[in-house]
């Protein structure tokens, strides 16, 4: 009789430990499963996304670069504050520049103009967007330069332009 009570306590502790370990295991498996689904969704979005550069021009003075990009995939693009716009160019001072430009309306920033057909502020499949980048110093004459635009999901387009 004196061994029955300790046996019950030990059995209860073993069951409690087993249930705790099983609960932690199932919680971990659920977290891994959710992360896997999110990764698959991102991969599917990337497969269905495509961004193509249509044209890159500069203003007469070279102080602005206009990049026209088209959504040629099946995914909508938004979150423009998370986009990357990078220019590699030779300035009017003769130096090479490689600059990242944030979304904004000031000097060394970019603004967007979307030829909206259906949803304002969203680049739908088939729509084009013009990105106007204000640069300082200006793009040098007779220089070959590169413009890169990248969406938050990693899809990007690159174009070579001259001024």
Residue pLDDT, tens place only, 16-64: 998 999 999 999 999 999 999 998 887 777 778 889 888 999 999 999 9
pLDDT at 44: 79
Neighbours of 97 (CB within 10 A): 16
Over residues 57-83, the pLDDT tens digits come to 999 999 999 999 999 988 899 899 999
| Residue 113 near residue 89, CB atoms below 8 Å | no
> H-type helices in 3-78, by residue range?
4-48
CB 56 within 8 A of CB 65: yes
Spatial strand order in the sheet of 156-162 = 96-101, 84-90, 144-150, 156-162
Q: What is the pLDDT of residues 105-159, one digit of tens each?
A: 888 889 998 877 788 889 999 899 999 999 999 999 999 999 999 999 889 999 9
CATH code reported for the domain at 50-162: 2.60.40
pLDDT on residue 1: 67
Query: What does the pLDDT read at residue 47?
Result: 76
Contact between 153 and 143 under an 8 Å Cβ cutoff? The reply is: no
- Average pLDDT of 90-103? 95
Record the pTM.
0.75
Residue 141, both tokens: 């004459």
Pairing of strands 128-134, 84-90: unpaired
The C-alpha atoms of residue 96 and residue 104 are separated, in whole angstroms, by 23
3-12, 90-99, 127-136, 143-152: range with lowest mean pLDDT: 3-12
Say how far apart CA 140 and CA 112 lie, in whole Å: 23
């Amino acid at each position: 009789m004196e061994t029955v009570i300790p046996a019950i306590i030990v059995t209860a502790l073993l069951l409690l430990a087993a249930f705790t370990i099983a609960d932690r295991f199932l919680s971990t498996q659920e977290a891994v499963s959710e992360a896997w689904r999110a990764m698959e969704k991102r991969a599917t979005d990337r497969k269905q996304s495509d961004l193509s550069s249509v044209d890159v021009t500069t203003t007469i003075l070279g102080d602005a670069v206009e990049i026209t990009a088209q959504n040629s995939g099946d995914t909508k693009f938004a979150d423009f504050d998370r986009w990357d716009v990078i220019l590699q160019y030779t300035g009017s001072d003769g130096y090479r520049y490689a600059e990242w430009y944030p979304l904004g309306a000031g000097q060394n920033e970019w603004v967007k103009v979307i030829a909206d057909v259906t949803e304002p502020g969203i680049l739908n499949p088939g729509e084009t967007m013009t990105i106007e980048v204000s640069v300082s110093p200006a793009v040098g004459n007779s220089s070959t330069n590169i413009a890169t635009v990248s969406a938050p999901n990693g899809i990007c387009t690159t174009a070579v332009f001259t001024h």
